[in-house]
Amino acid sequence: MTGGPLSGLTVVEIASLAPAPFGCMILADLGADVIRVERAGDGGSGLMAPSGVLDRGRRSIAVNLRTPEGLGAVLTLVDGADILVEGFRPGVAERLGIGPDDCLSRNPGLIYGRMTGWGQDGPLAPRAGHDINYIALAGALQPIGRAGERPVPPLNLLGDFGGGGLMLTMGILAALHERSRSGRGQVVDASMVDGAALLTAFVHGMNAAGLWQEGRGRNVLDGAAAFYDTYECADGLHVAVGCVEPHFYGELLDVLGLSGEDLPLQYDLDAAPELKKRLAEVFATRPRDEWAARFADSDACVSPVLSPWEAHEHPHNKERETFVEVGGIRQPAPAPRFSRTPAPVPRPAPRPGQDTDAILAQAGYDAAGIERLRSAGAVE
C-alpha cells in the first residue's frame, strides 16, 4: 500500500474477528502496511476466509505460533513494527508469548492495541460475549426500539464497529501522537463496553438536562416525534424524516401540501400519534423515489431509506464516490478524506498466507531460513 496519511507505518495484526479487523482495515485504508498474521497449523489455512471487505488492503502471513520457530518469526516482525493489534481474551496473548511485556521489551516504541468486549480487567473480563451483550451492559441497547416493544439490536454497529474498531483506531492514533513526543510505546486497552458507553454521551447529557424520558419511544430522537421518524411509501419502501428545526418542518409541510391544515403542534409529543397518522397518509400516496425527487431541492430533511446494496446508486454517493469496487465486491470507500494525502483504492483481501515468503524476506530471512521455518511447520 502506498499513499495515504499513514504511509510508512507498519502494523502487525494477529488475525481475529470483526472489531479488530475493522480497525486494521481503517489503518490499511489510510496507508499503513498491515501484515495480518493468520494461524497456521490449526487444521486450516487460516483463522477464517477473508471477507473481501474487512480484510482488504493487507498482506498475509500464515504462522504457527505454537512452534518456537513460528513465535520467533512473529516477534521478528514485531521488532520492525510501529503497531501490534490483537483481539484475544485477556491473558491469551501472554500465554502465546506475544503479550505486551514480550513485545515492548524488544520494541519499546511499539503501540500495542488490545481489542476485547469487556476490557482487560473487571469481573467479566474472562467471559465470552458478543456485540449485543456489550451494548446491553453499556446502556446503549435499552433506549433503541419502539414504545412498548423490546429493545432492537442495531445490527452489530454500536459494539463491534462504533464502540470497538473505531475506538481502537482512535486510541492507536492518539498513542502514536504521544510517541512522537516521548519516543515510547504503550498499551491501548480498547473495550467494546467502554466504547459503546462513550457513544451514549449525548443521551446522558439530555438526561442530565431533564430532556430525556425513561422508556423507549418517548423522546424526540427515539421515534416519539412525528418529525423524526420513518414512513412507508406507496411501493412499500420508506423515507426518513428528520426536520427537527421549525423552519425545516415548515418546508416538510409545504412539500407535502399540508401547510394549510389544522395539525397538532410540531413538538407536542402527546399529540404526535395524530400527526404521524396524517403524515403517513400522505407519504403512502406516492412511491419512495418520487418523494425523494420532490424533496431533493428542499431543506425539509427527508431522505429515501436505501438498502446497503442500492446506496451506491444515489447521485450524491455517485459523485463523491462513497462506494468503490475492490476485487469484484462493491463496498464503502476509505474515509475520511484528505486534501494532500488521499487514501488510494484498497487492494483486495489476500488469501491467508499469500505473502508469507515476501514478508519473511523483508524481515531479514534468507531463502534457507524461510525453508527451515516451513520444514519446522512454523509457516505456510
What SS3 class is residue 303? strand
Omega of the bond leading into 143 within 30 degrees of 0 (cis): no
Q: Which residue is catalytic, options 160, 194, 222, 229?
A: 160
What does DSSP assign to residue 343?
P
Give the span between the Cα atoms of 279 and 291, in whole angstroms: 13
- DSSP H helix total and E strand total for the chain: 14, 11
Contact call for residues 23 and 172 (beta carbons, < 8 A): yes
Phi-psi category of residue 91: left, alpha or beta, with phi > 0 → left and psi -120 to 50 → alpha: left
Pairing of the two strands 228-232 and 238-242: antiparallel
What SS3 class is residue 100? helix
Give the span between the Cα atoms of 34 and 28, in whole angstroms: 6
| 177 belongs to the catalytic site | no
Q: Which residue is catalytic, options 102, 130, 314, 357?
A: 130
User: Where would I find the H helices in 1-143?
Assistant: 19-29, 68-79, 92-96, 100-106, 131-138
Give the span between the Cα atoms of 182 and 66, in whole angstroms: 35
Give the span between the Cα atoms of 319 and 303, in whole angstroms: 17
| 130 belongs to the catalytic site | yes
Q: Which residues is 13 bridged to in the sheet?
A: 36, 85
Give the span between the Cα atoms of 288 and 276, in whole angstroms: 17
Give the span between the Cα atoms of 273 and 102, in whole angstroms: 61
Nearest Cα residue to 266 out of 239, 288, 284, 241: 241
Would you please indicate which residues are annotated as catalytic (active-site) residues?
A: 130, 160
